[in-house]
Structure 1
Amino acid sequence: MVVLRAGMCPGLDEGLVGDLRAAGIKTVEDVVSSDTEELAQRCNVSYKALFAIRRVLLAQHTAFPVSGADLYEELLSSTAIVSTGNPGLDKLLDSGLYTGEITELCGGPASGKSQVCFGVAVHVSCRLKQGVVFIDTTGGLSAGRLLQMLRAETSGVEEQMEALQRVRVFRLFSVFCLLDCLCELRGGGLQQAAAAAAGGGSVKALIVDSVSAVIAPLLGGKQNEGMSLMMQVAGVLKTMAKDFNVAALVTNHVTRGLGGELQPGLGASWGPVPRTRVLLERAEGAAGHTSVRAATLIKSSRRVRGPCRAFLK
């Protein structure tokens, strides 16, 4: 289900959304399955305006069939591989992050998820000279931390400042703010972020650290809206990755299964969203280093052979 929100299409403002909800119409499915003439009378809105809104919503949320050959040609022309800057992780991911796809890092506290995200942002902005959109939902990202990592990459102050300008940071602490931000980026904000990037590079990485921090509190029990919001976030992320040819990287928490094994959070409905999943764990004492993290490939659409585990410093 797709929850109705103001601004989803022309004419669908806050007032009309409120009237529709008062009439028991809360989702796009409710709108398209209702009698338009009767609904227009109940909401005191013109039939013509409501019919136009219904038509736009149908166009936005109806799938159109395409041939497998067309999909393959589109894949060849649009897919690029973005290095994470970590050789071990790149090898695990079959060369790096793939544009048009969502890659997920899952792990417990202090497993290194945010550290990997910071490293990707620094590498893409400094070495690849491309833009990065970094959505921070935990408050863990700071300009000082990015600058510290950039100083390890280059000693040039001007180059460091240019790299910082290529990273656009959004601090959001609710799923509603996250969804609004993603929709705004999809509607043109991503191109604006690219235009603002120093050196004229395009945005090649969209990072959300963490997606579960704002979604997990809304799941469970009778909170049906939380599941709907989660799938809306997933849909927008997928659309942006594909339409703008960017690599989407998100982080997720972990839970314990019945056998005590670690498994990604957000439940079975979220499982198909990322094309690739990597589990990060602390590897205390590995090779004499306490800061080593073990990365295990637990899901991949393309990996058929090669290493499924790597150690990251």
Structure 2
Amino acid sequence: MVVLREGMCPGLDAGLLRNLRAADVKTVEDLVSSDTEELARKCSVSYKALLAIRRVLLAQHTAFPVSGADLYEELLSSTAILSTGNPSLDKLLDSGLYTGEITELSGGPGSGKSQVCFGVAVHISYRLKQSVVYIDTTGGLTAGRLLEMLQTETSNTEEQMAALQRIQIFRLFDVYSLLDCLYGLRSGGLQQASVGGGSVKAVIVDSVSAVISPLLGGKHNEGMSLMIQVAGVLKTMAKDFNVAALVTNHVTRSGSGEVQPGLGASWSHIPRTRILLERVEPAAAVSPSGLRSATLIKSSRQPCHIKAEFDLGWWSRSEEGSSRKRKLDETDS
């Protein structure tokens, strides 16, 4: 169910949108299933103009068949793999984040979801020289934190500033603002966000559940519809613009007490890949406090339930710290 919005097709302006809503026509489905002649009369618009809008909306929101061979050729020509910057996480993801797909990181408070997103954004902007759109719905992202991570990558101030310029940040705290932002990006905002010679290759939403979960359950029937709209625009944007979408999700407990990603069964079909992050309790005082366990719980490429451990401090390592980390890895192996 797609909610009608101003400008989603030629002729659908604010005045007509008000009249349609007054006639209890709020979605594309409502409009295309209505009697066009009667609706034109109710909304004081010409039958011909409304018929043209109806045809455009049908073309935009109707699925057309495509052969498997064409789909495979398109996949081969368009998919790119973006390294997260962390070898353990890349191995779990079968080399990294895939463009055209949605990857989800789920975990409880303190599991490191946001820290991983910060690290991925910094790695793509500095190492890969590509632009990133970062949508922060929790208020957890600061320019200071990104700069701190970049300072461990390079001491060159110009390089730090250039990398920061390639990270476009949106702070949005409700699902309606999130939808407006995503629709805007899909309608041309992604090209505008490309700076410094690199195109946008990743869109990060941290967190998608923070703005959706309050609307689910109880009497909030619209919550499910809004969630599906967020999923739909993320999917089409990832595919149409060849970007990797990375989202974070909270966790809940099943009836048996098992930790599982939030947002329910309907959302579970949306991400192509899902990873559960958990804190690893240190066995001794010398163990790194930033150690996290990552479990692959959904994938079309790798066996599910394989695990990896990594240190959240990886993305903030200095050259000296990186050398120490390599020595530790060699000792542990």
SS at 2:252's partner residue? strand
Cα displacement (A) at 1:14: 2.6
Query: In structure 2, which of residues 196, 199, 203 is the aligned counterpart of residue 202 of structure 1?
Result: 199
Equivalent residue for 1:309? 307
| Equivalent-residue separation in structure 2 for 1:277 and 1:93 (angstroms) | 9
Note the residue ranges of structure 2 that are not aligned, 5 or more in a row: 312-333
Question: Quick one: which amino acid aligns to residue 136 of structure 2?
Answer: D
Indicate whether 1:263 and 2:263 are aligned: no
| Equivalent-residue separation in structure 1 for 2:174 and 2:49 (angstroms) | 32
Indicate whether 1:107 and 2:104 are aligned: no
Equivalent residue for 1:223? 220
TM-score (norm 1): 0.96
Alignment of 1:2-81 (within 5 A): 2-81=2-81
SS at 1:24's partner residue? coil
CA contact (8 A) 1:211 1:251 kept: yes
Greater mean deviation of Cα atoms: 5-14 or 252-261: 5-14
Per-residue CA deviation, residues 159-210 of structure 1 (Å, 9 max, x unaligned), is: 111101111111111111111111111111101111xx22x11111110101
Cα displacement (A) at 1:259: 0.5
CA contact (8 A) 1:284 1:291 kept: no
Indicate whether 1:248 and 2:245 are aligned: yes
Q: What is the aligned-residue RMSD (CA, Å)?
A: 1.3
Q: Return structure 1 stretches of 4+ with deviation > 6 angstroms.
A: none
Per-residue CA deviation, residues 84-127 of structure 1 (Å, 9 max, x unaligned), is: 01111000000000011000000111110000000000000011
Per-residue CA deviation, residues 260-311 of structure 1 (Å, 9 max, x unaligned), is: 1111111111111100000011111157222211110000011148x81111
Question: Quick one: which amino acid aligns to residue 262 of structure 2?
Answer: G
Equivalent residue for 2:236? 239
Identity of aligned residues (%): 78
Question: Quick one: which amino acid aligns to residue 53 of structure 1?
Answer: I
Equivalent residue for 1:294? 293
Alignment of 1:115-154 (within 5 A): 115-154=115-154
TM-score (norm 2): 0.90
| Equivalent-residue separation in structure 1 for 2:20 and 2:51 (angstroms) | 14
Per-residue CA deviation, residues 51-101 of structure 1 (Å, 9 max, x unaligned), is: 111111101100010000000000000011000011110000000000110
CA contact (8 A) 1:286 1:292 kept: no
Equivalent residue for 2:329? none
SS at 2:193's partner residue? helix
Question: Quick one: which amino acid aligns to residue 267 of structure 2?
Answer: W
Equivalent residue for 2:319? none
Greater mean deviation of Cα atoms: 166-175 or 215-224: 215-224
SS at 1:263's partner residue? strand
Per-residue CA deviation, residues 10-45 of structure 1 (Å, 9 max, x unaligned), is: 222233222222212121111111110011112222
Equivalent residue for 1:275? 272
